[in-house]
Every structure is written in C-alpha cells, then in structure tokens.
Amino acid sequence: MVALLMFAAVCCAAPVGNAISAYLALTTGARNDRGTADGGSAADIPARMLTAYKKAVQQAGKDVPKCQGMGWPVLAGIAKAESNHAAGRNIAANGDIRPKIYGVLLNGSGQGGNTTGVPDTDGGKWDGTANGERAVGPFQFLPSTWKSIGKDASGDQVADPHNADDAALGAAIHLCGSGRDLSKRTQLAGAIWKYNHSAEYVANVLGWIDQYAAAAESPDLENVTGNALGVIQAALSQRGVPYSWGGGTVHGPSNGICCSPGGKSGASIKGFDCSGLTTYAYARAGISLPRTAAAQAGVGRRIPAGLGTAALKPGDLVFYAYSPGRDSTIYHVGIYTGRGQMINAPRPGTVVRLDPVNAVSGYAGGARLL
C-alpha cells in the first residue's frame, strides 16, 4: 500500500525536503513523428530565426519536391545544436546575422577537437580566411558544402550562409537529400547523421526536434476570452520547455529538486513539473496556487469526475488520481484547453506539450478558478 501511495505523487513534487518525491511512469500519447506543423513557437527561439525556419519549409518543396516531412522543428533542432539559434547575434529584418558566426579553423591543430586539416575552398569568401576551412553561419556549413546547397531565400540574389533565410533553406535542402521522408524516424536520423557523423549528435538533435514538435501544435482558442485565455496562453508559451521534477515557480521555469524513486532529479534541469506549470500560468491571472497537484484540487469549484470531461471548460484544472474520488491520491494536473486537450508537463524526460485529456489514467475531475 505504501508503494502505491508513493506512485500517487507523480510529477508534482513540492520543493520542500519532506515532500513525497515520486513519479508515475505515464505512457506517452501517440507520438507525432511528422514535426511538420506550421503553427506554434518555442520559448528559446528568436522570432526572426523561427520565421526563417518556417519560410525554409515552404521553399524547400520547390527545390526538393520529393522531400516529405520537413518541418520547422527539424531545422530548429539542427540550429539549436549548431549555434543555439544564433544566440548573442543581431538578426536584421532581412535575415542577415551579425557578428557573423564562425567555427574553429580546421587546420589540424587540435583546437576544438579538429585533428585533420581541411584545405580552403572559398578563398575566405564565407569563412574569412584562406588558411583553411571553418564552418559558418547559424547552421555551421563548411564553404565546400555550402557551394553545393546554398540558395538565395532572402531575395537579394546572393546565397549567403550568414543570412538566416538562406542558411535555413540550405539546411532544409541538405537534410532532404534527393528526397527523404523525414516523417520516418529512421530517415530523419539518417539525415542528421549525414549532417554530423556522431551518434551523440543525432540523439541530441532528435531530442530537440521532439521538444520543438511538441511546441508546434496549437489549440483552437477562438472562443476563449478573459483570464482563461491569458492562463492558457501563458502555459502554451512554455511548450518545449523541459520537464523538471519540482521545477517551476510563479516567475517561470526553475531548477527542480532531487529525487524521484526512479532516481530522476530535476536539480540540474531548468523547467516545470505539472503543478509548477499550473502555478506559473495561474499567477499570470493573479491567482496563487498551492504547490502540489493534490493541494490545487482544493482551490476553486470542484468539477466531479462523474460528470465526465464534457463538463470541463478552457482554463479549468484537470486532475488525475491513483484512486479517483480520493483527492489525497491525486498525482497529476494539467490545464484544459478545450476539444479534449490539455497543456501538460507529463513526466521526467519529456517537455511541456499538448496532450489528449485521456492520455493520462485516473481522471479525477477538474477545478474551475476563473
């Protein structure tokens, strides 16, 4: 019985030393491998870079018509790994990035891990030196690679790897190859491997793609107004942010705590757990929530589970319990967005995302605070 009650604590740990620290290994809902949605955004991508990624998706179909499954999360995953979306640079309205982004000089010196010299191919046109090659731009292309894939996407008649639009289109063309189907996980992994022959790199980029794909789906909020809209939008703005056990405050993502029974610590992860996310989102409406999911069930007007999910309205809290009907066993909370969906910080190893309400077991009703 003790073990069962421990599982009831799930993702919503309280940031105090004597809190029950446990999580339920929730099954992930049907995973969307497409990553092709045009909507959505992610908290760590500059708006101008995201525009470049989405623009490249539209243009790539003209250059590689047989390519399938290309979406902005794919490009964002690469750019995150290569330059952190041109972090620290200025991105002009036309897409030009300044200062330019240069990788280490590949002269075999050992600096940056390079041990084999790569001879110059562009006379320093793109990489600023004729003494060898170095990767350039937000997608870190070698000039020799850029020569074969570079396209003008910005309309200035120059294919420039230091331009966000041009670079993103070049990356899309490179990943598409002769016509890959990137909706298939094996082909997507193969495209990333071609970009960088490292299993660690492939795993890292796939992880970022999954996070950005989670941020790409947008619910229909046309008829949602007032504080409910503000709460939902606040939570949606955090899609793609990592799950962190015990993470999240009224101010936003934070490092979590240690540890769940499975040994999952949030101490080094800046993000949200389920109740941390709801705490943050409702604070935007001026509503202070207690820190755990079970305690949050005691706030507002309770919506009994027996009424079914049809009784929920956008902005309601949605609860899940090991033993529905016993609020002390509530282990999880989300924010209902309508049409059977909720904003959810599911469990360690995932990100804030939209999930079906029925993706989590033990529906225990909701609470209306707005």
Q: What is the DSSP string of 178-230?
A: TT-BTTSHHHHHHHHHHHS--HHHHHHHHHHHHHHHHHH-----TT--HHHHH
pLDDT band at 335 (very low <50, low <70, confident <90, very high): very high
Say yes or no: 283 and 338 in one domain. yes
Residue 192 lies inside a defined structural domain of this protein:
yes
Return the structure tokens found at 38. 């045009």
Q: Which domain holds residue 25?
A: 2-30+221-368
Which of 332, 327, 277, 273 is closest to 10 using CA atoms? 332
Say yes or no: 163 and 76 in one domain. yes
Question: DSSP label at 337?
Answer: E
- Of 216, 240, 266, which residue constitutes the final position of a domain? 216
Residue pLDDT, tens place only, 183-201 = 999 999 999 999 999 999 9
Say yes or no: 56 and 88 in one domain. yes
Specify the pLDDT at position 261: 61
Specify the pLDDT at position 22: 20
Kindly report the pTM of this predicted structure: 0.63
Residue pLDDT, tens place only, 27-85 = 222 233 333 334 566 778 999 999 999 999 999 999 999 999 999 999 999 999 999 99
Angle at the Cα of 115 from the Cα atoms of 114 and 120, rounded to 5 degrees? 75
Which of 12, 13, 83 is closest to 52 using CA atoms? 83
Percent of the chain with pLDDT over 70: 88
- Element holding 52 (H helix, E strand): helix 47-63
> ω into residue 259 within 30 of 0, thus cis?
yes
Number of separate domains in the chain: 2
Measured distance CA(195)–CA(186) in Å, rounded: 14
Say yes or no: 94 and 181 in one domain. yes
Q: How far is CA 129 from CA 103, 106, 123, 324, in A?
A: 12, 11, 7, 67
Contacts within 8 Å (CB) and 24+ apart, 107-112: 107/131, 107/132
What's 149's domain CATH number? 1.10.530
Say yes or no: 22 and 148 in one domain. no
Question: Is 116:106 a contact under the CB 8 Å cutoff?
Answer: yes
- Element holding 274 (H helix, E strand): helix 274-283
Residue pLDDT, tens place only, 314-323 = 999 999 999 9
